[in-house]
Amino acid sequence: MSSDKLPFRRVLLKVTGEAFCEKDKSGINFDSVKHLAQEIIDGSKLGVEIAVVVGGGNIFRGAVAHGSGMDRVQADNMGMLATMINGLALQDGIEQLGHETRMLTSIDIHQLAEPYVRRRAMRHLAKGRILILAGGTGNPYFTTDTTASLRAMELKADVILKATKVDGIFDADPIKNGSARKYQELKFMDVLGKNLKVMDAAAISLCMENKVPIIVFNLTVPGNIIRVLQGEKIGTIVRGS
């Protein structure tokens, strides 16, 4: 399929920290990183511009540390640094496979990455580079889901692709409940009203206000990124008010 026939020209891919490690484990598994890198490269080769916001929960979860008594700001700062570690791992994985990347971060750490500047980011995308966005928003109290929504608006992405380990959004946890029902499509208000744990409320509200759809799909199935980018009806789409 030629790039001019694809449904999306530019996408924001949100990847959780779980994509960097083995199931039910923490840290970084480099086979997992290689799989993720190859999936993203395959999508980029279709001619779609891809920006990736990475989470850091496989290394450190600020919310968990705060729940254990740690200062919230310090905990969130550590969580943002964890996303940078994942970002560096993903950058290496993609470049090892021969594709050009740029990593931009909201936290000033110029020895490792470029600072996030919207115009610079858009220029990198236009040149066909895979963009890795780390460091969250650079502020405590904001999740990487909110970061994904914010960057999608700033970069004028056509859609947010929320990569998970299940096949979409369900009315119950499909891992714990085999009879859980999958939603094919939802409206933003349904997600908020049903309190479905897709993305946090701030992220959903931002997408709703700016009319940017979200597609939730299973990243662990090989080829799913390409299927989504080609317009196949997989996962769950969230759109409309």
CATH at residue 122: 3.40.1160.10
Strands 10-15, 114-115: parallel, antiparallel or unpaired by DSSP? Answer: unpaired
**Residue 22 domain boundaries:** 3-238
Q: Is the pLDDT of residue 63 over 90?
A: no
Q: What are phi and psi of 240, to 5 degrees?
A: 70, 165
If pLDDT is split at 50, 70 and 90, which confidence band does 3 have? Answer: low
Number of H helices, E strands in the chain: 8, 11
Q: Is the pLDDT of residue 161 over 70?
A: yes
Structure tokens at 165: 């380990």
The shares of helix, strand and coil residues in the chain, as percent rounded to the nearest 5, are 40, 20, 40
pLDDT digits (tens, 9 = 90+) for 228-240: 999 999 999 999 8
Using a cut of 0.85, tell me whether the model's pTM lies above it: yes
pLDDT digits (tens, 9 = 90+) for 110-144: 999 999 999 999 999 999 999 999 999 999 999 99
Q: What is the DSSP letter of 20?
A: G
Work out how many domains the chain is built from and give that number.
Answer: 1
pLDDT of residue 207: 96
Identify the helix (H) or strand (E) that includes residue 185: strand 185-186
